[in-house]
Amino acid sequence: MMRPRKIHQLQDRYLERARDVVRPLRFTNKMKRVPNIPKDTATQEDHVYEKALNNVDPQLLGELGIAEEGKQVPYDNDPPPTPVCDRCHSLLHHRLGSPIHHPTVDAIQQTIAESPHRRNHIYHVVDAADFPLSIVPNLQSSLRIPKLRTQNRRAKHKGWVANDRIAEVSFIITRADLLAPKKEQVDALMPYVRDVLRDALGRQNSNARLGNVRLVSAKRGWWTKQVKEDIWDRGGAGWMVGKVNVGKSNLFEAVFPKGRGADYQDVRKIRSAAEREAMLSNAKTLDELVQVQRQLAEEDAETERLKIKPQEHLHQPPEELEETPEEEDIDDPDSLLPPPQPFTPYPVLPIASSLPGTTASPIRIPFGQNRGELIDLPGLARTTPGLETFVQPSAHDDLVMKNRINSERYTLKPGQSLILGGGLIRITPVTQDLVFLVYPFVPIHPHVTRTEKAEEYQAQTSERQLQTPPILAPNVGSKIHSAGKFQLKWDVTKKIAGPVTSPVAGKMKPENLPFRIWGTDILIEGVGWVEVSAQMRRPQGWSPPGLVKKDPNQARLDRQARLQAEADRKQRKFDALARAEREGRDPEEVLEEEFYEENKRALMEQWEEDYPEIEVFSPLGKFVGQRRPMCASTVSGPKQISSRERKQRPRRSMVSVKRQRKPKGAD
């Protein structure tokens, strides 16, 4: 919950010094208006009632069920609830609120520099809906944290400056439930996520190890427990850094270690001998028995590790509440960090809302007595101005993907385009002689139409009406520009070709097929992604390479063959020039005849790099990105049921029946 503070840096009307932002508390029956009423202020009726109960036989009071009524304390001394400001009240109950001015990376760096903790860890929160568009560029250099650890086994992963360890960084990709329906399918995407992350981090981090990446879903509870244990084990300060609307506050609630003190120990791992025997006896198969034995062995190893852990590493609760040097400047008006909150096992957590800029200032919530604290920072700005400024206010919620989308397939034939949201985004193929397949994983309505009509819809000059009303704001058609041309330069033949390349069906290798399928993912900032693919035939004269037997010395043999081919080419060139001089012919003509086959092969290799292209149009030519395809269309759509598992036969086709009913001799 955001508390009112006197902050000079944030120029927002909800945080001004002269504004009373706290709503007046309305007392209910649970909130006693006078919690500490003295004894002498009780009413006369209470004294009479209490005196009458004292004069009655206790046995009679027990029969009436009011034996303990005279001993009860009439008033509750529980502390009042945390006050709520106007902005939080509007966000919670009315989904209304104006966003604040988003801080810069320099402001975040200055805030982290004021940390009173020696150990700091930065959790770089990234949204899975438009991954990797929500990555903060140059985060390592801007926050002055160590470079990402490379794949070299001697690479250092810690840095120190003046006896203080430099903050480390972990990548937390939230809302992973938007990528696939099952946790196992999301876990299988981890190699793909690392490759995309290396592409986004640039050439400098192309060899990064990226062992600090987590695919997390706060909604489904995927891998949140592991992140929570990491936060508890690290201690110190954990900083949630990321752009707006990436799910930092939702993740904060899921991974915050609630209900733990400094002497916390997982009691579920301490089992009695009877429980162990019951677990072993309940195992029905050998595999289950081995799994139970492995689980018990891991629990025993964890218990032994905790026993031999040095005592100086255990965080003990403070003996007295003393004024520490870090707390001397809590009233400093120029401080970027708010004052520390008192420790409570179950604190009030930050408000989560789909509106950008919900968190107005850093929120510090401690855990485990003096073990550490988790800090939710305001979100960094995305593209300015945001995409929501070009959309009607009533459709702002439509830009946020809340649930996983089972996208339908849309076919773009030559001369057609795809528009999203009635013209907010337009995708037009540049290569005209191909058919493109499009899977829009976005919460806004897609529509396929002719390119001329799509241009009119996007320019807001069309007199036609779409079945789904457009979400474009008035007078923004002139601000639509091209965001660039994107090549479909990734080969997805093996994943999208279907049963032809399936290992349980056709078992064909992609290099032996007479076609190739190229694909890419077009990212829309804060909205989702669009999967685009196109099939291209091999050039005329192509023949499949067939099966090639692998050789352990293939690299050395390839180098020798390459050097020998270069020497042979030079010798053939000199021989052709000498023959042209003897015969009195044009040297260029002789060289063309000599290297005709090689030139034809080079043209085929050039065709391999001739990728299909599409052009994307968006407001101001922004809010669009590209990544290698995830092929989410293979796991979307209705579940395929095999013929063995069908409970009833499929409906018979009526084509042959109608043909049989047709009179003979009829056309």
Q: Which phi and psi (to 5°) does residue 400 adopt?
A: -100, 125
CA trace torsion 76, 90, 352, 398 (10° rounding): 150
Q: Which pLDDT does position 158 carry in this prediction?
A: 55
17 pLDDT higher than 90: no
HEC per residue, 214-237: EECECCCCECHHHHHHHHHHHCEE
d(CA 117, CA 666): 90
644 pLDDT higher than 90: no
pLDDT band at 405 (very low <50, low <70, confident <90, very high): very high
d(CA 138, CA 122): 14
d(CA 412, CA 429): 8
Amino acid at 173: I
pLDDT band at 116 (very low <50, low <70, confident <90, very high): confident
324 pLDDT higher than 50: no
Q: Is the whole model's pTM more than 0.85, yes or no?
A: no
Q: Cα 281 to the chain's mean position, in Å?
A: 42
d(CA 363, CA 238): 11
- Decide the pairing of beta strands 363-367 and 372-376: antiparallel
Is pLDDT larger for residue 563 or for residue 610?
563
Q: What is the DSSP code (8-state) at residue 337?
A: S
Kindly report, residue by residue over 359-388, the tens digit of the pLDDT: 888 999 999 888 899 999 998 888 888 899
Q: Which pLDDT does position 524 carry in this prediction?
A: 96
d(CA 477, CA 46): 74
pLDDT band at 33 (very low <50, low <70, confident <90, very high): very low
The beta-strand segments (E) located in 525-572 are 528-537
151 pLDDT higher than 60: no
Can you tell me the mean pLDDT for 322-351? Answer: 69
29 pLDDT higher than 90: no
Is pLDDT larger for residue 571 or for residue 93?
571
Distances (CA, A) of 74 to 37, 43, 77: 9, 12, 10
d(CA 322, CA 370): 12
Kindly report, residue by residue over 455-467, the tens digit of the pLDDT: 999 999 998 988 8
287 pLDDT higher than 70: yes
pLDDT band at 9 (very low <50, low <70, confident <90, very high): very low
Considering the chain, what is the average pLDDT of its residues? 80
230 pLDDT higher than 90: yes
CA nearest to 390, candidates 330, 476, 495, 319: 476
Which of 211-220, 258-267, 507-516, 573-582 has the lowest average pLDDT?
Answer: 258-267
Kindly report, residue by residue over 553-563, the tens digit of the pLDDT: 877 888 899 89
Q: What is the DSSP code (8-state) at residue 268?
A: G
